[in-house]
A and B are shown apart, each in its own frame.
Chain A
Amino acid sequence: MDVCTFEKVGIRGTNIVVLGVEKKSVAKLQDERTVRKICALDDHVCMAFAGLTADARVVINRARVECQSHKLTVEDPVTVEYITRFIATLKQKYTQSNGRRPFGISALIVGFDDDGISRLYQTDPSGTYHAWKANAIGRSAKTVREFLEKNYTEDAIASDSEAIKLAIKALLEVVQSGGKNIELAIIRRNQPLKMFSAKEVELYVTEIEKEKEEAEKKKSKKSV
């Protein structure tokens, strides 16, 4: 089976969580809006997935129902960890049933809990889940993760715009043809999911490129 998943990056900032995904080019006659990679599970939780789109649709539907069911039963919104555990348990069930195959998706789940702390979790087809400060999934996840390990610092995530720029920079490492192939979504504390338009992403990309040029100019001045 050919695996050709596109990159997804998740970053946990102090006051913001960022999900960046590589946009895949759609066929000319295809409606772009029907190709969704970042999905809201509830007002305060969203997820990005890499793998089989159809499997993801089933998992997301189940997770969304569970979020509402939890709210009705317990009168509290789900914690990010709870819904991640639910998704992971669902995935694990399918690895241990006869006549079924595992869900072919890895997911990055981000959001804010009631206590105001940001969370980022990653699940994989085996049903394991782990909390991360920043992570990437997809074909070149290793390269992106190495970039994040080098550049994820307390300063980098202190401000919202720096966290967003870090996510974009991480994606630019592996995404071909730059900013127009990046989709971004953020959740700020006590605010709903916000999807960035292509223009807003371009603004950040131009800012990053400017900073890069200035850093290079400084370097060449120093060496002279």
Chain B
Amino acid sequence: MAATFFGEVVKAPCRAGTEDEEEEEEGRRETPEDREVRLQLARKREVRLLRRQTKTSLEVSLLEKYPCSKFIIAIGNNAVAFLSSFVMNSGVWEEVGCAKLWNEWCRTTDTTHLSSTEAFCVFYHLKSNPSVFLCQCSCYVAEDQQYQWLEKVFGSCPRRNMQITILTCRHVTDYKTSESTGSLPSPFLRALKTQNFKDSACCPLLEQPNIVHDLPAAVLSYCQVWKIPAILYLCYTDVMKLDLITVEAFKPILSTRSLKGLVKNIPQSTEILKKLMTTNEIQSNIYT
């Protein structure tokens, strides 16, 4: 019961359910077919972490199996291109495993045989220092799969003595600011860090009321809850496809403690990046 503004008393809708629900419940009870469909869908959307050599699933989470002091995660094609050209070229990285998943955004129907050119999520570690991990994630991880991804990678009780760095991109139209959007120096970097991250960021922190979405947000929230020092570098860009200027916007991160020591030959990396761009260039005729 509730009182309205005018003083009359009306019966308010109750979210706990009404008394005459028993009849409706019978119709809502799950049939065996419904259950089967639901289980099938859950199996299809399962996130599986596979070992590299044997392609069998890992029994424990990735970071429970291997000790980790530094973990760099690139989410999105521009961030992946940045790590490929600048970090993966400066050392010998060995593939440790990969995450296989399917959701409506994946452009493949075959979940068992995802080829390397399709959307992927691969984990590497540095051969000379196996506690340094890198993740190249160019697939979209749906909301219901993010928790599974975190469980399979970090586990349910992660260590605190590691540092996480996340790189990702977002379209500049998502950036809320009181400045005129025409004057924004896109692409530009913003950072968001957890409470336990004590170092300084190489760019301004993300201003309110902007928020982070999807997998980067899930990882950062997880790190905040488990008191792991983590920092997210978010590049706001006006071109979401693979783009040289967007990838180069990540360059200030090369001087931070997160990536120091992992990057050696920057001019060579720039050349490699340019080659990557030309092989991936799809020219459209809409713009001149």
Contacts and interface: CB of A to CB of B under 8 A. Distances in A.
Contacts of B208: none
Contacts, number: 42
B285 interface: yes
Nearest to B243: A4
Nearest to A34: B285
Contacts of A53: 285-288
B245 A24 contact: no
Contacts of A24: 283, 288
A210 interface: no
B288 A2 contact: no
Contacts of A51: 287-288
A177 to B, nearest CB: 8
A76 B238 CA distance: 43
A25 B178 CA distance: 38
A179 B241 CA distance: 26
B288 A56 contact: yes
A3 B239 contact: yes
Interface size class on chain A is: 20 to 34
A50 B125 CA distance: 44
A2 B239 contact: yes
B283 A37 contact: no
Contacts of B283: 24-27
Given A2-B239, A3-B238, A176 B288 contact: no
Contacts of A176: 244, 274
Interface string B1-19: 0000000000000000000
Given A25-B281, A176-B274, A3 B287 contact: yes
B281 A52 contact: no
Interface in A50-66: 50-54, 56
A142 B238 CA distance: 15
Interface string A1-14: 01111100000000
Interface in B222-262: 238-241, 243-245
A112 interface: no
Given A52-B286, A53-B287, A2 B240 contact: yes
A5 B284 CA distance: 11
B267 interface: no
Interface in B82-102: none
Contacts of A35: 285, 288
Contacts of B274: 176
A186 B28 CA distance: 76
Given A142-B185, A176-B274, A2 B241 contact: yes
A49 interface: yes
29 contacts: A2-B238, A2-B239, A2-B240, A2-B241, A3-B238, A3-B239, A3-B287, A4-B239, A4-B243, A4-B284, A4-B287, A24-B283, A25-B281, A25-B283, A26-B283, A35-B285, A37-B288, A49-B288, A51-B287, A51-B288, A52-B286, A52-B287, A53-B286, A53-B287, A54-B286, A139-B245, A140-B245, A176-B244, A176-B274
Minimum-distance CB pairs A-B, first 9:
A53-B288, A3-B238, A2-B239, A4-B287, A37-B288, A5-B287, A4-B239, A25-B283, A24-B283
Given A24-B288, A53-B288, 15 more contacts: A2-B239, A4-B239, A4-B243, A6-B287, A35-B285, A51-B287, A51-B288, A52-B287, A52-B288, A53-B285, A53-B286, A53-B287, A139-B245, A140-B245, A142-B185
